[in-house]
Every structure is written in structure tokens, then in C-alpha cells.
Amino acid sequence: MELRYALLFSCLIIPLCSSDTDVSSHFVLEPYDFLFDKAVEAYYKGDWLTVVLNMEKALRNKATVRNVKAQCRLSCANQTAFGERLSGLGVPIPGAGSVEDLGFFQKILKRADCVNSCETEKLGYPTLHQVTADVELEFKKRTPYNYLQAAYFKINKLDKAVAAAHTFFVANPDHVEMKQNLDYYRMMAGVQPEDFKDLEARPHMAEFLLGKSYYSDESFGLGADHFEVAINEYFTADKECRALCEGAYNYDGYNYMEYSADLFQTMTDHYMQVLNCKQHCAVELASTAGKDKPFEDFLPSLFNYLQFSYYNSEKYEQAIECAKTFLLFHPADVVMNQNLAYYSVVLGEDKAATISARQVVKQHIQQSLLEKELLYFGYEAFGITFVDPDTWTPEDVMPKKLRDKQKADRETAARITEEIGNLMKEIETLVEEKKKDSSDIAMIITQPEGGALLYDDIKVTMTSKQLNGSQRVLLDGVISDDECRELHRLSNVTATAGALPPHTPSEMFQGVTVLKAVKLGQEGTVPLKSARLFFDVSEKVKKVLGSYFRLDAPLYFSYSHLVCRSAIDEKQEDRKDLSHPVHVDNCVLVSELNKCLKEPPAYTYRDYSAILYLNDDFEGGDFIFTELDAKTVTAKVRPQCGRVVGFGAGQENPHGVRAVTKGQRCAVALWFTLDPTHEEKVRTISFLPTASVSG
């Protein structure tokens, strides 16, 4: 979750590292991304031992950081016990009043201090090192095991090579080469069946899967044993998962620049994010590597398997306990109620009545429901979206107003779908009729894009077809030369160069959002007129795009940003990187697999994107569309003032920006969503009258 701090730590507590290098003085726990890079470099030099040493250490260090964070937060949770009287203050908490407030914050401070000292003791002082999202993704995809299996094989550690290969393959079941490797290993002498281990398996999931396989073989006794362990491990993993959620606040895009909430709003925003993450643990724990979807209703179904296993082992007391536990989640479940009635008759009604559901599950449900209530409160009061991951939540946990709204939205969506369906049918009929004597109408079907542009000066320079793809358009004349210059000036004045996370080291990057521009306008730092222009121009692009792509539902802004990238002259030699690497706007591009995963951290709700260019007096910086491999360029667009490239934000449109090798390239980047809950803040606050720019 939280990757801000890395990791210097003394060797005292980790016996693993005492074998290498200097133990006496300060030992440095190297950040695992450095180790990963070192191992990859060694791989290309064929230095297998270095690959193994560094990659193993990278995995170990990553696990250490994770465990220390979880354990420190869990063991420090006792610092916020509000029951007892506070030393020095002498008032019970909770209570009302400014003294009680102090007591509350004293607890918070103590807990922060406890967590900090605990982590510092075990990991050393925090540094500013931050592991990049790219490397995080590699670990998530278990890429380290791909390198490890090759290196182990080369140094003849066959058992380890097999385990690494298996571990990688579990998470990448479509990987053809690894499948071949595994087939090959299976036939080799000296390889044992038990070498095929998943080194990253999580205990609760491994036990569940094992239990399930015994269950399928009708070995119900063994099945029950493993399901019981799975349940125990589940709650351990759940505690850890929740503790790991208590990390840093995750800003969306660059909006930390304009974040100015007060104390309680800030705490609320952060806490809502933490609670959302904690709720998501139910999904996290139900997921298993290599499977697209999490197991549905995972925890309740564990008790379902278990009650049936006990019934088949004629253990009626346990079967009743598990059936009652399942019914805590789904009290109206017909089959389970029948089962319970049957088991009760067999055991004796009186005895059955004394058996209750498991306490740990009662507590779990109670806590989860309280979390959901807070999250829904946050949704209603502050618009912080919450989507309940559980299927068992009673209906009335969601406030009635929200329920009604969602119902209305669903009905609208269904109606629109139906209307579109009818319309398409009409068009098809029309086409059928006219087919014989006119080919024009067929164009409507093959080119659903191409709606009115609404402004006389704007013209379509290239359609999807000319841009070698779909859901693409190139427009010119969207704004005038004067307007380009004014926006470029705005960017130069507001630029907070250097304050942003670096992209490529060969370029400087500066950016300003609409909200920031409006604020600066109100403060008089920039002409309010220019801020207004930025706002209006982005509205104009939105209108044109919605109309051109013939969208039935309105587009909302998700994020808009005026950005300039300037080449740093002395850093252009031998440059091979892009200015902005190839990516897709609403999914995580995994170019090695030609796949795009529509899941966080991608902004999955983004539906359309547009870039409005402001100038062309620079070298390099062409915009490119590629295939899903992120390499094969399908179309290239040269920026110029007033030009807009607009496109669908999905996997049909991977794109990037080539290196800017001389001068400064400025553009307005706009992302749109069809989902109003993700509308950009400034648009709803409406600082400015929303009049449109004159043609």
C-alpha cells in the first residue's frame, strides 16, 4: 500500500542478512527495486550467481518491509485504548469538550510514536526513497521468479528452478514458454513432484484449495481439517491486510498541489481511503494468483463447505455451528435453513438450540458493517465513492437516498441501452432497404463516429480509419494562435518546475490544473481571463468530442492538466527513452502479454481522452498510438497549435509521447468520464460561469 519510505535497517533482527558483507557497522537494507534492477542487469551479463543473490534479497526485503509494517501497526493498536483514564488529563475519553479533544489527540500522537519507533527499530530511519509503480507491478506479476528460474537452472539448482518456475506460472498461466519449461522439468531425472511449490502461496488460500480438492474426492474429514485451518489463517491475513491499509494518503494524479482541506476534512479524507482499503480486503483475500476474478462470497462459502463436510463426517454439532455461522451472512438462505433444521432433528432440537454461531465471525460482521456505515456516511456527506465488495450486506445498510438514486441510475442505463438497441435496429432496417441502390447509408454503420463538430472553424483532419485504429480523431482549428499563446504564457507563469515527480531525467516537466489556475487567477497571480480561457477551452473540447463520437450520455471531466515538457539540452545524448512511456488511460498495460488490466491503480472510470496542442516550435515530441505490445507504432501525430487528438481511453488506444529533444512542448491534457461520481472537483464547485467560448 504504502511505498514512501525505504529501508535502512540494522542487521540485528534479521538473521538472514548476517552472512553477507559488513555486519559490524550500520547495515543498509537495500530497497528492493534497486536489488531487482541489479539482478536484471546481471541477468543480461549472464552472471547467474549475482542474479540469484540480488533477486532473493529483493524478495526477502520486500517481505520484511511488509511484515514489519503490519506487525508494528497491530502491536501499537493498544495505544489507542480509550477506556482508561489518561495520565495527566484525568478525564475519561470519549467525552465532549476541548480537554477531551486533547485526550483524543494524545492517543493519536502516542500511537503514531509507537508505530514510528517500532518501524525505525526494525527497518532503520525512513528515507525518501519511493519504489515506482512499475517495479511494484513486476513483483505483483511475480516477474522476479521468471529471472530466478533461469538463473537457478544455469547454476544447477534444479529443485529451486522448478519451484521458481511453478511460482511464476501460477500467476501467469498463459505464459507459453514457462509452460514448456515446466513440462521439460517434469521429465527430468532428479525432479520430485513436491518441488513444484508455489513460494508465494498465501496460507488461507492454499489450505482452502487443498480442502476443496479433498472435498471433491469425498474425503470430508481431511477436507474439514483444511477448511478449519483456512478459516484461522483467513482471520490472521485479514488483520494484516487491514493493518497494511493504514498507509499514506494516496493522491489522485497531481492534486496534492491544490489540496487544502482543514484538519477534520483531511483526517476524514484519509480515513475514508483507509476504510475503503480495509473493506477491499474481502476481495484481496478471495483472490488468487492467475485467476481473473476473486472467489465470490469467499468467507461465507468456507462455512458452507465446512458444514457439509461435517455433516458427511456425521459431526452434527460442528455442522450446526457452521450452518448457523453461514446464516449470519445470509439469514434467509433457504437451503441452509433446511440443512439446519435437518441437522437439528438428527442431533435433538434442545441440544441444537444451545449451539451458537462462531464469535469471531459475529465480530467480523459487526466491524465490517460499522465500516460500511461510515463509508456510506462519507459517500452522502462528501461524495467519497464507496462500492460495497460484499454480497451479504443487508439492504438497509445503504442509506435510502443512495439506494433510490442507484436504482434510478440503473433504470436510466437500461432505458438508454434499450433505446440504442431500437435505434440500431431501425438503422439496420433502413440500410437493408437502401442497400441495393445506395451505399451511403452503410457509412452510418461502419462509421458511428463523425457527429457534428458544432463550431465552424474546427475541421476533421483525420478519422479513426486514417489514424489506423478505432475511436480516434484528429481535429484542427480548435483554438486560435492568440489563445495558444495565452495558455502557453499561463503555463509559464504558474509553472512550479521541479515540484513534480520527475518523469524522464532528460526533460523538465511543469503543469497546472484548472483549479490551480483559477485560484491563482483569484489571487491575482495570473490574469483571471487566462484562467477562464483554460476552463472554457477544455469545456469546448469536451462538447466537440461528445458530439463527434455521438455519445448518448454526457461526458464529465475526470482530470484536466496544462503541461509543458522541456528538453534539457545537456541530457539528450544517446537518449532512447520516451517523453511519456506508452500506456492506456483506463487500464494497466502489460505489454509483454498484449493485455490491459482494467483495475486499480489505473483510472478505470476514464472513458475518453483528448490532448490539445499549443505549439510546434520544438524537436521530437510526436504523439504515437501503438499496438498493445507498446512497441508497434500504428499512427503518429505531429503537435501544432489548435490541434486536438481525441480518442477512447480503453485498450484499443495505447499511446505515448516521443522524446522532446529540443525546446518546450505544451499541451492541455483532458480526461473524460461517463460516470458523474468521478467528476473533477473544480467543475462541480463552479468557480466560473460556465458560458462557452464563442466559436
Ligand X SMILES: *[C@@H]1O[C@H](CO)[C@@H](O)[C@H](O)[C@H]1NC(C)=O
Which positions are catalytic? 665
Q: In whole angstroms, how close is the CB of 12 to ligand X at the nearest point?
A: 17
Among 492, 572, 651, 661, which residue sits at the site for ligand X (rule: CB under 6 A)?
492
The answer to whether residue 488 forms part of the interface with ligand X (CB under 6 A) is yes
CB-wise, 274 or 467, nearer to ligand X? Answer: 467
Cell of 660: 522532446
Q: In whole angstroms, how close is the CB of 354 to ligand X at the nearest point?
A: 34
Among 320, 589, 635, 660, which residue sits at the site for ligand X (rule: CB under 6 A)?
635
**C-alpha distances in Å from residue 642, one per residue of 125, 478, 664:** 50, 5, 16
Cell of 139: 513483483
Decide: 315 and 228 in contact? Cβ < 8 Å. Answer: no
Q: In whole angstroms, how close is the CB of 66 to ligand X at the nearest point?
A: 18
Q: In whole angstroms, how close is the CB of 564 to ligand X at the nearest point?
A: 7
CB atoms within 10 A of CB 180: 10
Cα(353)–Cα(355) distance, rounded to whole angstroms? 6
Q: In whole angstroms, how close is the CB of 510 to ligand X at the nearest point?
A: 9
Burial (Cβ within 10 Å: 0-12, 13-18, ≥19) of residue 432: exposed
Decide: 585 and 680 in contact? Cβ < 8 Å. Answer: no
The answer to whether residue 405 forms part of the interface with ligand X (CB under 6 A) is no
CB-wise, 26 or 485, nearer to ligand X? Answer: 485
Q: In whole angstroms, how close is the CB of 543 to ligand X at the nearest point?
A: 25
Chain length of the chain: 695
CB atoms within 10 A of CB 323: 31
Cell of 74: 497491530
Cα(185)–Cα(165) distance, rounded to whole angstroms? 9
Residue 559 phi/psi, 5-degree rounding, is -165, 140
Interacting stretch for ligand X, rule CB under 6 A, among 229-237, 331-339, 481-489, 638-646? 481-489
Residue type for position 402: L
Q: In whole angstroms, how close is the CB of 154 to ligand X at the nearest point?
A: 41
Among 265, 468, 594, 640, which residue sits at the site for ligand X (rule: CB under 6 A)?
468
Contacts with ligand X in 428-457 (CB under 6 A)?
A: none
* Residues sharing a CB contact under 8 Å with residue 284, sequence separation 6 or more, in sequence order: 241, 294
CB-wise, 101 or 482, nearer to ligand X? Answer: 482
User: 444 in the Ramachandran plot: left (φ > 0), alpha (ψ -120 to 50) or beta?
Assistant: alpha
Q: What is the pattern of x (binds ligand X, CB under 6 A) and - over residues 71-110?
A: ----xx-x--------------------------------
Report the sign of the C-alpha dihedral through residues 228, 232, 235, 241, in that order.
negative
Cell of 20: 553477507
The answer to whether residue 485 forms part of the interface with ligand X (CB under 6 A) is yes
Cα(244)–Cα(236) distance, rounded to whole angstroms? 13
Decide: 518 and 688 in contact? Cβ < 8 Å. Answer: yes
Cell of 436: 441495393
Interacting stretch for ligand X, rule CB under 6 A, among 101-109, 136-144, 203-211, 484-492? 484-492
CB-wise, 160 or 472, nearer to ligand X? Answer: 472
The answer to whether residue 67 forms part of the interface with ligand X (CB under 6 A) is no
How many residues interact with ligand X (rule CB under 6 A)? Answer: 12
| Residue 567 DSSP SS3 | strand
Among 275, 361, 467, 567, which residue sits at the site for ligand X (rule: CB under 6 A)?
467
CA nearest 565: which of 622, 527, 485, 635?
622
CB-wise, 79 or 130, nearer to ligand X? Answer: 79
Q: In whole angstroms, how close is the CB of 614 to ligand X at the nearest point?
A: 9
State the first-to-last Cα distance of the chain, in angstroms, to the nearest integer: 47
Max Cα-Cα span within the chain: 93
The answer to whether residue 636 forms part of the interface with ligand X (CB under 6 A) is yes
Cα(414)–Cα(411) distance, rounded to whole angstroms? 5
CB-wise, 412 or 480, nearer to ligand X? Answer: 480
Q: In whole angstroms, how close is the CB of 524 to ligand X at the nearest point?
A: 19
Which secondary structure element, helix H or strand E, spans residue 635, and what is its range?
Answer: strand 633-637
The answer to whether residue 62 forms part of the interface with ligand X (CB under 6 A) is no
Decide: 611 and 675 in contact? Cβ < 8 Å. Answer: no
CB-wise, 265 or 468, nearer to ligand X? Answer: 468
CB-wise, 398 or 641, nearer to ligand X? Answer: 641
Interacting stretch for ligand X, rule CB under 6 A, among 31-39, 483-491, 496-504, 537-545? 483-491
CB-wise, 75 or 417, nearer to ligand X? Answer: 75
* Residues sharing a CB contact under 8 Å with residue 251, sequence separation 6 or more, in sequence order: 259
Cell of 79: 495505544
Q: What is the pattern of x (binds ligand X, CB under 6 A) and - over residues 592-631?
A: ----------------------------------------
Q: In whole angstroms, how close is the CB of 369 to ligand X at the nearest point?
A: 27
CB-wise, 135 or 467, nearer to ligand X? Answer: 467
The answer to whether residue 489 forms part of the interface with ligand X (CB under 6 A) is yes
Q: What is the pattern of x (binds ligand X, CB under 6 A) and - over residues 646-665?
A: ------------------x-
CB-wise, 365 or 564, nearer to ligand X? Answer: 564
Cα(568)–Cα(498) distance, rounded to whole angstroms? 13
Interacting stretch for ligand X, rule CB under 6 A, among 7-15, 70-78, 122-130, 415-423? 70-78
Scored b (16 or more CB within 10 A) or e, 216-245 reads eeebbebbbbbbbbbbebbbebbebbbbbb
Positions touching ligand X (CB under 6 A) are 75-76, 78, 467-468, 485, 488-489, 492, 635-636, 664
